[in-house]
Chains A and B, each alone.
Chain A
């Protein structure tokens, strides 16, 4: 049964801060039902927005008949592209995506028109009343086929958006030393974020000069830019306030800019507040997804079980617009080899337009797919070498001796990949599941990850962070940051950092959700960077505040400013803890003397060099490693996978807030498990056929495995006190570990995700006890009845 277990390796020498473990500041409001999400906000005269979208994936937009929709009672506005005052463009990086279609439809769900009405019912009626004439055009639904000559073009200029490379070493030379070469093609499905709160925003206009946007989002600065661009307003005229956000996982990185721009356009035209809440089905069809990918491998190892070369070619299905796909591709590209020493590497990562679902950011950002492939290939090579998969990894994993990544980066010591592997394997071996009955098998699988923390070199310009620290006259503290809380625990972590730095109890610190009018653009809350970069900016602000605080405290204490230390709610003389004055008293004294009690802070990562042509250089600022070992029970006859236990060992640098860290790991593992096992995006002609929780199956409480966490604290990160990101490493290796465990259980190799029951049954081929039954039905009804499954590969 689901249970939590934890162990922790204490920091060496006991140095560093004590990790926070206080209740999250947002917990009580949420559990009492008092937290106001955007759907809980309404204003007098507020209008309800709805979208008219395309039901087909590729078409010419012939006409939109709007008169009937406009005459629906209580409908206030029906708008099209012609009504946009600024730029009809919402692409976060490339201007390839219109807010509203002009003449061409490239995806199911492409926006055609917008409606605002006095009730949601009227808005829905108006949407139904819009008559759309679409002339179907050829479409392409496979990223490999999209690159073939003659494939239908999604945009003029070709379907290949870009190819990224890693070029390292001499493949031909290394191949000559390889005794075993594995070639395989992995077909990896996408994933829906399934945040519980659908996309939503509320825009309050002030004439046509300015507006305030309340949005459920990860990146208020992206929303601000999109709204300003569409309305033709200066950034300063668009104020974005993040509302409590019910889950993001990447799905609220760039995407919320689109609904926000829609609502803002309606608000601009009507002069009324406009709220847009996506119904779940629409959300699942329209919003971005984890990219479906085809990954081709050719990897070789020598007789001693050492990797000699690795060739990877990846086709990423971007959908009809680039969005963040090129950025996702950058991470996928350099993550393709994992934490292994490989003398010669060639990686090509193609980003391809199709008329499918919109590919975008999702926890792990391209790394989970290539990690799945990489770890599967590691197992495949191990089998072919006759080695245990763990032993094969031992011979190739990066450590303090061999520590150069595929991008040529020499990792700083300690390199903990080997420790993560050994500790996870050791912990996992303490118990093994027993098969519960006939037709069941058990298996164990390993997944390792080398995670580049913070933004890739390509996004380096966004790797910055702003903070404001305001000391109140009573010693309580307001902290403002530019990074968002979406459930992951940023508020708790920042609160812990600020409290530690100021020597006050965490409860004395109020951390606010971002408001673009109060902090500088801090880039996106992504890449597991939130707590790290927000925390660093807060530390900087505290440092600046103390330039004014410490002299006042020193006067009250009768010591020098440099002797002042802050702890336990007091300013005290270093080395003489009895000489202390409450921080509240110092704050009151500052107020009395009219000394400025507010300070700003700033953080930016160190500049690095990276050669995009070869993929060599400083791809990331610093790195974390993790190892997951999954134990599964597989009902082989029915093809059902039950993940019973996952051991997760993470190199986290430092723990900033223990419950938040554990919550991230638990959630990441279960989300990664869902992607591996039950979460299948059924896409037909670009349309999602299962846009509901009825048929898109995320794990329930009954699916939760036992999770054991070990957090290694050896600093080494650039977050506060050496901390490293945890949001994404917690998910990246899980699916690979689960897949390897299922293959171990069944003695077969699997090349597709998810590991659906039909796929598992088909992969057993003749070995399935009821294969004879399908032969009978094929004989009777013809071969159409037989499974259309890939030919299974027997384990060697």
Chain B
């Protein structure tokens, strides 16, 4: 059955895209469509006009002075397979390979995954721990928004209706001598593949040569209205050695900053336990390795 839209506009560059969005109030931008089409079909979203962002040249990954820049239209399987992402931002590569299933990963874009602003968006926690920034464009010009400030609530972001995501910037990471970085993305769902996260965790810890935690960044998904950093747990861990007591304290701190809900996928209490398990396993792995 056709989707209930009346117009699909196919701009050829980003400027034309934002002009079309400005000219057609209520129009929605669409990239891979793997989430938007479902919502249109189920009547959860309605739009007269869609603006297709597929032909803007926004797909691709490039290295620059500011770090690694991933175009908003880059698909998940491209991100998951990219050697630079895998080496420098392994949590993002791992997350991208767990968004839906392979046929979705070949179509779903990074920009779309962020713009939908699902609390369960798998690429969000890895970007949060990378201190990523989003480049946005509208008729009013371009701006850069930290990933941590992008999400406003379930399905809501600071993106204006006539604004598009151009790219995501991953600032370069520098590792001191004798320091070891550990990074992982993990998600929990009842099934092994093709599952919407019940809880997800992206975590990065740099261990100094003396065994203490140098840098730490933790972000969780599906346990709050938006994906978010777990700052309190980070504070507990900073500078510490990963003893059993510290791990327990970090897990307790994490639990306090979660605000999960009960829904059809899991009860809130289970999400709390699962988040604790994910964090504790990561810390144990780091401590052990």
User: In the complex, A714 Cα to B170 Cα: how many Å?
Assistant: 67
CB distance from A127 to the nearest CB of B (A): 12
Max chain A C-beta neighbours (<10 A), residue from B2, B4, B191, B195: B191
User: In the complex, A700 Cα to B192 Cα: how many Å?
Assistant: 8
The reply to whether the CB of B188 lies closer than 8 angstroms to some CB of chain A is yes
Q: Which residue of A lies closest to B265 (CB)?
A: A695
- Knowing A438-B284, A695-B264, A787-B270 are in contact, say whether A770-B193 is a contact too (CB < 8 A): no
User: In the complex, A639 Cα to B199 Cα: how many Å?
Assistant: 13
User: In the complex, A678 Cα to B194 Cα: how many Å?
Assistant: 13
- CB–CB A638/B188 < 8 A: yes
The reply to whether the CB of B160 lies closer than 8 angstroms to some CB of chain A is no
Residues of chain B with a CB closer than 8 A to A756's CB: 190
Q: Which residue of B lies closest to A785 (CB)?
A: B269
The reply to whether the CB of B268 lies closer than 8 angstroms to some CB of chain A is yes
CB distance from A581 to the nearest CB of B (A): 55
The reply to whether the CB of B196 lies closer than 8 angstroms to some CB of chain A is yes
- CB–CB A776/B252 < 8 A: yes
Can you list 16 residue pairs at the A/B interface with Cβ under 8 Å?
A: A639-B270, A678-B190, A689-B264, A699-B191, A700-B193, A703-B192, A756-B190, A761-B270, A770-B280, A773-B272, A773-B273, A773-B276, A774-B272, A776-B252, A786-B269, A787-B267
Residues of chain B with a CB closer than 8 A to A777's CB: 255, 269, 272
Q: Mark B85-111, 1 if CB is under 8 A from A, else 0.
A: 000000000000000010000000000
Q: Sorted from nearest, which 7 A-B pairs have the closest CB atoms?
A: A758-B270, A702-B193, A637-B277, A702-B192, A120-B1, A678-B190, A697-B191
- Knowing A438-B281, A637-B277, A690-B264 are in contact, say whether A773-B1 is a contact too (CB < 8 A): no
- CB–CB A640/B276 < 8 A: no
User: In the complex, A387 Cα to B74 Cα: how many Å?
Assistant: 59
The reply to whether the CB of B286 lies closer than 8 angstroms to some CB of chain A is no
The reply to whether the CB of B246 lies closer than 8 angstroms to some CB of chain A is no
User: In the complex, A770 Cα to B268 Cα: how many Å?
Assistant: 15
The reply to whether the CB of B236 lies closer than 8 angstroms to some CB of chain A is no
Residues of chain A with a CB closer than 8 A to B22's CB: none
Residues of chain A with a CB closer than 8 A to B267's CB: 758, 787-788
Q: Which residue of A lies closest to B43 (CB)?
A: A128
User: In the complex, A700 Cα to B255 Cα: how many Å?
Assistant: 32
Q: Which residue of A lies closest to B195 (CB)?
A: A697
- Knowing A694-B196, A757-B190 are in contact, say whether A768-B269 is a contact too (CB < 8 A): no
CB distance from B264 to the nearest CB of A (A): 5
CB distance from B195 to the nearest CB of A (A): 7
The reply to whether the CB of B47 lies closer than 8 angstroms to some CB of chain A is no
- CB–CB A682/B264 < 8 A: yes
- CB–CB B190/A640 < 8 A: yes
- CB–CB A703/B191 < 8 A: yes
Q: Which of B247-284 contact A (CB under 8 A)?
A: 251-252, 255-256, 264-270, 272-274, 276-277, 280-281, 284
User: In the complex, A756 Cα to B189 Cα: how many Å?
Assistant: 10
- CB–CB A773/B255 < 8 A: yes
Max chain B C-beta neighbours (<10 A), residue from A637, A638, A703, A774: A638
Q: Which residue of B lies closest to A637 (CB)?
A: B277
Residues of chain A with a CB closer than 8 A to B277's CB: 439, 637-638, 770
The reply to whether the CB of A121 lies closer than 8 angstroms to some CB of chain B is yes
Max chain A C-beta neighbours (<10 A), residue from B1, B193, B194, B273: B273
Q: Mark A745-788, 1 if CB is under 8 A from B, else 0.
A: 00000000000111001000000101001101100100001111
User: In the complex, A307 Cα to B92 Cα: how many Å?
Assistant: 57
The reply to whether the CB of A658 lies closer than 8 angstroms to some CB of chain B is no
Report the count of interface residues on A (CB-CB < 8 A): 39
User: In the complex, A682 Cα to B188 Cα: how many Å?
Assistant: 19
CB distance from A437 to the nearest CB of B (A): 8
Max chain A C-beta neighbours (<10 A), residue from B188, B269, B274: B269
The reply to whether the CB of A677 lies closer than 8 angstroms to some CB of chain B is yes
User: In the complex, A682 Cα to B262 Cα: how many Å?
Assistant: 13
User: In the complex, A756 Cα to B268 Cα: how many Å?
Assistant: 14
The reply to whether the CB of A566 lies closer than 8 angstroms to some CB of chain B is no
Q: Which of A679-731 contact B (CB under 8 A)?
A: 682, 689-690, 694-695, 697, 699-703
- CB–CB A678/B196 < 8 A: no
User: In the complex, A788 Cα to B1 Cα: how many Å?
Assistant: 42
Q: Which residue of B lies closest to A642 (CB)?
A: B192
- CB–CB A697/B190 < 8 A: yes
Q: Mark B182-203, 1 if CB is under 8 A from A, else 0.
A: 0000001011111110100000
Q: Mark B156-195, 1 if CB is under 8 A from A, else 0.
A: 0000000000000000000000000000000010111111
- CB–CB B196/A770 < 8 A: no
Known: A695-B196, A773-B251, A773-B252. 19 other contacts (CB 8 A): A124-B1, A438-B281, A638-B188, A642-B192, A677-B190, A689-B264, A697-B190, A700-B194, A702-B193, A703-B191, A757-B198, A758-B266, A758-B270, A773-B255, A773-B273, A773-B276, A777-B255, A777-B272, A785-B269
Residues of chain A with a CB closer than 8 A to B268's CB: 785
Residues of chain B with a CB closer than 8 A to A761's CB: 270, 273
CB distance from A789 to the nearest CB of B (A): 9
- CB–CB B192/A439 < 8 A: no
User: In the complex, A694 Cα to B281 Cα: how many Å?
Assistant: 27
Q: Which residue of A lies closest to B199 (CB)?
A: A638
Residues of chain A with a CB closer than 8 A to B193's CB: 700-703
Q: Which residue of A lies closest to B38 (CB)?
A: A694
Residues of chain B with a CB closer than 8 A to A780's CB: 256
Q: Which residue of A lies closest to B258 (CB)?
A: A777
Max chain B C-beta neighbours (<10 A), residue from A120, A690, A697: A697
- CB–CB A770/B2 < 8 A: no
User: In the complex, A120 Cα to B194 Cα: how many Å?
Assistant: 30
User: In the complex, A757 Cα to B101 Cα: how many Å?
Assistant: 21
Residues of chain A with a CB closer than 8 A to B281's CB: 438-439, 637
CB distance from A788 to the nearest CB of B (A): 8
Residues of chain B with a CB closer than 8 A to A770's CB: 251, 273, 276-277, 280
Residues of chain B with a CB closer than 8 A to A121's CB: 1-2, 4
User: In the complex, A780 Cα to B196 Cα: how many Å?
Assistant: 29
Q: Which residue of B lies closest to A674 (CB)?
A: B191
Residues of chain A with a CB closer than 8 A to B265's CB: 695
User: In the complex, A124 Cα to B41 Cα: how many Å?
Assistant: 11
CB distance from A502 to the nearest CB of B (A): 45
Residues of chain B with a CB closer than 8 A to A776's CB: 252, 255
CB distance from A678 to the nearest CB of B (A): 5
- Knowing A700-B193, A770-B251, A777-B255 are in contact, say whether A787-B269 is a contact too (CB < 8 A): yes
Q: Which residue of B lies closest to A636 (CB)?
A: B277
User: In the complex, A170 Cα to B19 Cα: how many Å?
Assistant: 85
Residues of chain B with a CB closer than 8 A to A689's CB: 264
CB distance from A781 to the nearest CB of B (A): 10
Residues of chain B with a CB closer than 8 A to A703's CB: 191-193
Q: Mark B1-38, 1 if CB is under 8 A from A, else 0.
A: 11010000000000000000000000000000000000
CB distance from B191 to the nearest CB of A (A): 5
CB distance from B215 to the nearest CB of A (A): 25
Residues of chain B with a CB closer than 8 A to A788's CB: 267
CB distance from B282 to the nearest CB of A (A): 11
Residues of chain B with a CB closer than 8 A to A785's CB: 268-269, 272
Residues of chain B with a CB closer than 8 A to A757's CB: 188, 190, 198, 266, 270, 274
Max chain B C-beta neighbours (<10 A), residue from A124, A678, A699, A757: A757
- CB–CB A768/B196 < 8 A: no
Q: Mark A625-649, 1 if CB is under 8 A from B, else 0.
A: 0000000000001111010000000
User: In the complex, A637 Cα to B282 Cα: how many Å?
Assistant: 14
CB distance from B232 to the nearest CB of A (A): 14
Q: Which residue of A lies closest to B194 (CB)?
A: A700
Q: Which residue of A lies closest to B254 (CB)?
A: A773
CB distance from A459 to the nearest CB of B (A): 36
CB distance from B26 to the nearest CB of A (A): 20
CB distance from B230 to the nearest CB of A (A): 14
User: In the complex, A777 Cα to B223 Cα: how many Å?
Assistant: 14
CB distance from A393 to the nearest CB of B (A): 30
Q: Which residue of A lies closest to B271 (CB)?
A: A758
User: In the complex, A640 Cα to B267 Cα: how many Å?
Assistant: 15
User: In the complex, A511 Cα to B188 Cα: how many Å?
Assistant: 47
